[in-house]
Amino acid sequence: MTAPRVLFLCTHNSARSQMAEALLRSRSRGRVEVESAGTEKTLVRPLALKALEEIGIDASAQTSKTMERFIDEQFDYVITVCDAANDACPTFPNAGAREHWSLPDPSKATGSEEQQLEVYREVRDDLELRIMELLRRMEPSLVDLRGGIDRVAPPQ
């Protein structure tokens, strides 16, 4: 059996899609092949990396990519995580399913660094909930209850 493949898309591939990629890779213990990309390429936001680091995920090696490189690849899920990317997203002919998760853009947060980081944390936690649900739908055995995730789905 081949590993499920998921592609997360956002406008700049700098925060939401990067956090989603790292969270899914971590929570599936690497048993899901996951990529992220944007309609435009930029830099990964330091506060996105910091929000992930707080829950034990090192995403510092991830880079921003454009979605053109993935157009002809096969994915079980293509998931847009921002409204602009959803509107601009081309058809992925080899995608099994396409979903849209409307999430606020944490890079637009204002205030002190701590206030901005709080917005990144909120988006990270929302993504974590959605990713756990995605994993349950894909294959319940992929769900990893380590790393604080038991706050999302307490062991029975």
Q: What string of DSSP letters covers 45-69?
A: -HHHHHHHHTTT---TT----BGGG
89 counts as catalytic = yes
30: enclosing H helix or E strand: none
Q: Which one from 55, 89, 145, 152 is the annotated catalytic residue?
A: 89
List % helix, strand, coil for the chain (3-state, nearest 5).
Answer: 40, 15, 40
Among the listed residues 54, 55, 154, 34, the one whose alpha carbon sits nearest the alpha carbon of residue 114: 54
Q: Which one from 6, 7, 10, 19 is the annotated catalytic residue?
A: 10
Q: Which one from 44, 48, 78, 82 is the annotated catalytic residue?
A: 82
82 counts as catalytic = yes
Distance CA 29, CA 14 (A): 23
125 counts as catalytic = no
Distance CA 144, CA 5 (A): 17
The residues carrying an active-site annotation are 10, 82, 89
